[in-house]
Structure 1
Amino acid sequence: MFQLGKTIVSEDIIKKDFVCNLSACKGACCIDGDAGAPLELAETKIMEDIYDKVKPFLRQVGIDAIEAQGTFITTEDGDFETPLIDGADCAYVIFDKKGTALCAFEEAYNQGVIDWKKPVSCHLYPIRVTDYSEFSAINYHKWEICDDACTLGKELQVPVYKFVKQALIRKFGEDWYMELEKVAENYQ
């Protein structure tokens, strides 16, 4: 672990390699698991505001889940998450012609309908950020459904922090990322 400003960073994001391999996993991270994507408070307002623009991209089961549960849910711990369809798929999941899970927010963003890409927790994956009162912990999340992404990352020699560069800049800023790059260079 090392510290950058008010963040404590796991060395795994420098040491581990990762490149999403959607052709292998088919977007399983959006349809497996027992919880929705973690959301920041500010994102809940954004999701409420853009829902009508994203709705045409959604599947009917997603619309039904969102209209029953809301554009986001609040957990027993007071955290915010995307709602799920029958306790499995994220309500915002759509599928391409090959059956790969995609994000309705990202699809609307890519088509220029909205200017918000998707929840930052999704954009950052496989990095997970846990906020504490004095600092944020930045960790690599290992999940067996991403084994193919680890293999591809190793083949291409792309460390986690480089794979999620834009998401890290979005979350922590360009100066923070430049400091991370310096630590990574010295680490080698």
Structure 2
Amino acid sequence: MFQLGKTIVSEDIIEKDFVCNLSACKGACCIDGDAGAPLEEEEAKVLESIYPKVKPFLRREGIEAIEKQGTSIKTEEGELETPLINGADCAYVIFDDNKVALCAIEEAYNQGEVAFKKPVSCHLYPVRVKDYSEFSAVNYHRWQVCDDACILGKELQVPIYKFVKEALIRKFGADWYTELEKVAKTL
């Protein structure tokens, strides 16, 4: 672990390789698990405001889940997440012709309907950020469904921090990322 400003960063994001391999995993991270995507408070407000523009991209099941639970939910621990369909798929998941899970929010963004790409937690994956009162912990979240992404990342020699560069800059800023690159060169 090392410190960058008000973040404590795991060396794993520099030392481990990762490139999403959607043809292999089919977007399992959006449909497996028992929780929705973590949301920041501002993101929950954004999801509520853009829902009318995202709705046409959603599946019927997603619309039903969102209209029943809301555009975001609060967990028993008080954390915000995207709602789920029957405790499984993210309510914002759609599928392409090859049955690969995609994000309806991102699809609306790609088609110019909204200016919000997707929740930063999704954009950052496999990096997870946990905010504490004095700092944020920046860690690699290892999950079996991403084994193919680890293999592809190793083949292509792409470390995690480079794979999620855009998302890290979105979350922490360009200066923070420049400092991370300097640390990566010294490790």
TM-score range, shorter chain: over 0.9
Displacement of 1:137 after TM fit?
Answer: 0.1
Amino acid in the other structure paired with 1:147: D
Q: How far apart, CA to CA, are the structure 1 residues paired with 2:47 and 2:72?
A: 8
Residue number in structure 1 paired with 2:135: 135
| TM-score (structure 2 length as normaliser) | 1.00
Residue number in structure 2 paired with 1:75: 75
Q: Is 1:174 matched up with 2:160?
A: no
Identical pairs, percent = 78
Q: How far apart, CA to CA, are the structure 2 residues paired with 1:110 and 1:21?
A: 20
Structure 2 unmatched ranges of 5 or more: none
Q: Is 1:96 matched up with 2:96?
A: yes
Displacement of 1:47 after TM fit?
Answer: 0.2
Listed one character per residue, the Cα deviations across residues 40-87 of structure 1 (whole Å, up to 9, x for unaligned) are: 000010000000000000000000000000000000111000000000
Residue number in structure 1 paired with 2:28: 28
Displacement of 1:165 after TM fit?
Answer: 0.1
Displacement of 1:118 after TM fit?
Answer: 0.1
Displacement of 1:39 after TM fit?
Answer: 0.2
Residue number in structure 2 paired with 1:64: 64
Q: How far apart, CA to CA, are the structure 1 residues paired with 2:145 and 2:36?
A: 16
Residue number in structure 1 paired with 2:37: 37
3-state SS in 1 of match to 2:134:
coil
Q: How far apart, CA to CA, are the structure 2 residues paired with 1:62 and 1:16?
A: 34
Displacement of 1:146 after TM fit?
Answer: 0.2
Residue number in structure 2 paired with 1:119: 119
Listed one character per residue, the Cα deviations across residues 72-111 of structure 1 (whole Å, up to 9, x for unaligned) are: 0000111000000000000000000000000001000011
Listed one character per residue, the Cα deviations across residues 108-130 of structure 1 (whole Å, up to 9, x for unaligned) are: 00111111100000000000000
Residue number in structure 2 paired with 1:18: 18
Displacement of 1:12 after TM fit?
Answer: 0.1
3-state SS in 1 of match to 2:106:
helix
| TM-score (structure 1 length as normaliser) | 0.99
Q: How far apart, CA to CA, are the structure 2 residues paired with 1:127 and 1:173?
A: 15
Q: How far apart, CA to CA, are the structure 2 residues paired with 1:113 and 1:67?
A: 20
Structure 1 unmatched ranges of 5 or more: none
Residue number in structure 1 paired with 2:145: 145
Q: Is 1:186 matched up with 2:179?
A: no
